[in-house]
Structure 1
Amino acid sequence: MTLRAGILGFGVAGRYFHAPLLRAAGFSIPAVVTSKPDSAREYLGKVDVLGSADELLARDDIDLVVIASPSTLHAPQAAAALRAGKHVVVDKPAAASTLELTDLDQLASSSRRKLAVFHNRRWDSDFLTMKKLIDAGQLGEINSYHARWDRFRPQVTDRWRDRDEPGNGILYDLGTHLIDQTVVLFGMPEWLYANAFIQRENSVTVDGFEILLGKGKLRITLGVSLLTADGGYRYRVNGSRASFLKAGLDQQEAQLRAGAEPNEHFFGVEPAEQWGTLVYGETGQREVVTPETGRWLSFYEDMRTAIEDDGPVPVSAAQAYDTIRIIEAALTSSAMGCRIDLQPDAPLVSR
């Protein structure tokens, strides 16, 4: 039987991320909730355009609810969908606090429904390439990891992302991806120092940050600036044998916005001018690395399997909990000007 998904929110995320990936993974989309009916019908064709989340949750022809609404609505809408007996994918951040995430995880467990968080950047080309190099030992023992996501966005907009509300700000936006990737690669850090700040004129929420994290001898630095014309390297990973340097952004978002579909042969392929470089420590020899193909589609393929076969979801609430825990610690560290210890790890029901 074809699984049926309803999308709650059809802005950029709903239209360009979730809808194409859902269809390519074999889901049908009978209904969406949006104030932009023309956009939904232009892409999906015959689809019911609804005016409220309650209308979507009341339908019996929806197996999975995908929450692509503003961040402040993620946790309450995910809870409502679980209570309505639906499986749920919620866009990042799943919640503004670890307490909310714990409640969602417990609710998903008690309702026997699948809850997954859309941390799609685990399937970026550059991240898959970097992880493969690290896992294969090609860099040796990693001693430092540097990841940045700088942009030039000097103007503050009137969009929900720039409003002073829980779950907004760059730490919860781009920071969520950088932190999630870090935990996937190295596990939970032991401590952090952080500076979360506002730089842009008229900004009312965090629009930049620098975080230093440690785990044993490993040092990790993560950062975002919205006032940087040249972002430089996205990743610099240094090991006992070699370093890996990588600039440029994964292509999947740009391809989806341009109208490409996730099952086209060129989807997720990095242009040659963006390929990363290995630099060997003993010789200084430089080697261009053929990248892995980015594949956000894997998220929804894994979600479909999780629902059909009662298997694990692609990104669990427990994994998302670790990311939000680090964000909370970073905000505390910045406010107090102190180091925050992250060990021992806090429990979560489904961990």
Structure 2
Amino acid sequence: MASATAPIRVGLIGYGYSGKTFHAPLIRAVPALDLRVVASSDPTKVRADLPGLAVMADPTAVAMSDGVDLVVIASPNDTHAPLARLALEAGKHVVVDKPFTLDLAEARGLVALAQRQGRMLFVFHNRRWDSDFLSVRKAIADGVLGKVRHFESHFDRFRPQVRDRWREGAGPGGGIWYDLGPHLVDQALQLFGLPDRVTASLARLRTGARSDDWAHVVLEYPGLRAVLHASMLVAGGSPRFVIHGEAGSLVKQRLDIQEQQLLAGMVPGAPGWGADPDGIAIHDCTGAVAHAPAVAGDQRRYYEAVARQLTQGAIESSAALEALQVMACIEAALISARTGTSVALALTAEERDVSRFAGDGSVSLERRPLNWTHIPCP
């Protein structure tokens, strides 16, 4: 466990889109964290944004540095597992950007290693603190929809041209399901827990696509279907969330704005940070529509929770186990899309049980069955 008084020294591996846009600003916005060094092949870019910060060309040097307590890995997906393994073996706590690993076996290996080393292992599920998700979570928890029967979550973009970047390439970990699927899955699991089965279809729809750029995945629960969808060919008209329950329906049109704010250079926590002008619409059984303001988002809370866990929490945490469960769903969808079958999660009974970590202060939204209140139609 880190000191409760001294700042936690952080080393960031990778200064591409995720490292530059998300990790560095969010880390620097949390007083308990002290970003000390960045590993990047482009030191000029890092120094332009973060003058005076140490930059190393070799990511392994950061992973093993005596000058850091927490290693944040924001490098290409196929490097996540080997770099995380190296950092854990060097006695560091680790945050890994999503996807956690390329498959469930790698994820299991890292979780076991973290437990042996007595170190904390987290995955960057920052979208738990998006305004859109927090708004629908509150509506469901408040019971305004009654028992939820259909949950639909879209993470759509309009990028018709295939770009020359590893995320869209044919290599390991490329494609939209590895990129956006972890966010969609993690949010669904936070709301509903583990599904019984996963049914998926993945496709390459853009001309020249080298990896999947369209994903449609259904998580099957008793009496509930959760539809997770991502596409690179949606110019507009696709709601972020559509939820149907026994007492009404909810529509949330637009995505959380924190990514756009970060791209525009806004400092996390500045006035207007996370404020979402797009509220939610609730349709009741009479046809009436009520509108409610969105809950403000704040992805700083992810790193605040990491810092709190490192200074106050027990070493064993639900964070790594929840990340393992997300990977089980990611892998089940890949198998389903390849075989054309519905696939059960390949998890042990112990891996399914996060309840034993209740109250450990981990990086979670206190996942538990929501207290639905049925509101009958008159």
TM over 0.5: yes
**Corresponding residue of 1:5:** 10
Shift of 1:341: 2.9
CA 310–29 in structure 1, closer or farther in 2 if over 3 Å, else same: same
Q: Secondary structure at the match of 2:136?
A: helix
| Residue matched to 2:288 | 285
| Structure 1 stretches of 4+ moved >6 Å | 312-315
Quote the Cα distance in structure 2 between the aligned partners of 1:138 and 1:345: 35
Q: Distance in 2 between matches of 1:349 and 1:74?
A: 23
Question: Structure 1: any 5+ residue segments left out of the alignment?
Answer: none
C-alpha separation in 2, matches of 1:349 and 1:196: 26
Matched, 1:90 2:96: yes
Q: In the alignment, what sits opposite 1:33? A: 39
Range with bigger deviation, 340-349 or 43-52: 340-349
Secondary structure at 1:78 match in 2: helix
The percentage of counterpart residues that share the same residue type is 39
Which is further off, 250-259 or 194-203?
Answer: 194-203
AA in 1 matched with 2:293: T
Query: If the length of structure 2 is used for normalisation, what is the TM-score?
Result: 0.88
Q: Show the 5 A alignment for 1:325-344.
A: 325-342=328-345
Q: Which residue, out of 165, 168, 175, partners 1:159?
A: 165
**Contact 1:119–1:315 (CA<8 Å) still a contact in 2?**
no
Spell out the pairing of 1:1-351 with structure 2 (5 A cutoff). Answer: 1-26=6-31, 27-271=33-277, 274-281=278-285, 283-311=286-314, 316-342=319-345, 347-348=350-351, 351=354
Q: Residues 64 and 201 (structure 1 numbering): CA distance in 2 closer, same or farther, change over 3 Å?
A: same
What's the CA shift for 1:49?
Answer: 0.8
Which stretch shifts more, 211-220 or 341-350?
A: 341-350
Q: How far does residue 213 in structure 1 lie from its aligned partner after superposition?
A: 2.3
Note the alpha carbon deviations across 1:131-174, whole angstroms, 9 max, x for none.
Answer: 11111211110011011112111111110111222222111111
CA distance in 1, matches of 2:289, 2:163: 42
Deviation at 1:217, TM superposition (A): 0.8
Shift of 1:312: 7.0
Contact 1:105/1:349 (<8 A) preserved: no
Which amino acid letter does the alignment assign opposite residue 70 of structure 1?
P
Query: CA–CA distance in 2 between the matches of 1:348 and 1:83?
Result: 23
Separation in structure 1 between the aligned mates of residue 317 and residue 291 of structure 2, nearest angstrom:
30
How many residue pairs get aligned? The number is 348
Amino acid at match of 1:317: A
Cα distance change, pair 341–61 in 1 and its aligned pair in 2 (3 A): closer
Q: Structure 1: how far apart are the matches of 2:352 and 2:246?
A: 37
CA distance, structure 2, for counterparts of residue 197 and residue 349 of structure 1: 30
| Cα separation, partners in 2 of 1:328 and 1:178, compared to 1, 3 Å | same
SS of the residue aligned with 2:156? coil
Q: CA deviation at 1:222?
A: 1.3
| CA deviations over 1:287-340 (Å, ceiling 9, x no partner) | 111111101001100100111113479972211122221121112112211222
Measure the CA separation in 1 of the matches of 2:351 and 2:219.
Answer: 22
Work out the CA distance in 1 between the residues paired with 2:60 and 2:13: 10
Normalized against structure 1, the TM-score is what?
0.94
Give deviations 1:72-108, integer Å, cap 9, x for gaps: 1111111111111111111000101111011000111
The answer (yes or no) to whether the contact 1:10–1:33 under 8 Å persists in 2 is yes
Q: CA deviation at 1:240?
A: 1.1
Tell me the secondary structure at the aligned position of residue 150 of structure 2: strand
Give 1:280 deviation, angstroms: 1.1
Structure 2 unaligned runs (5+)?
A: 1-5, 355-378
Cα distance, 1:36 vs structure 2: 2.0
CA apart distance, 1:348? 3.4
CA separation of 1:295/1:313 partners in 2, compared to 1, >3 Å: closer, same or farther?
farther
CA distance in 2, matches of 1:303, 1:251: 22
Change in CA separation of 1:293 and 1:311 when aligned onto 2, cut-off 3 Å: farther
- Say if 1:64 and 1:86, in contact at 8 Å, map to a contact too: yes
Q: Equivalents in 2 of 1:102, 1:89: separation in Å?
A: 15
Q: Structure 2: how far apart are the matches of 1:160 and 1:280?
A: 45
Asked whether the equivalents of residues 94 and 320 of structure 1 are also in contact (C-alpha less than 8 Å), the reply is yes
- Contact 2:328/2:347 (<8 A) preserved: no
- Distance across 2 between alignment mates of 1:183 and 1:254: 26
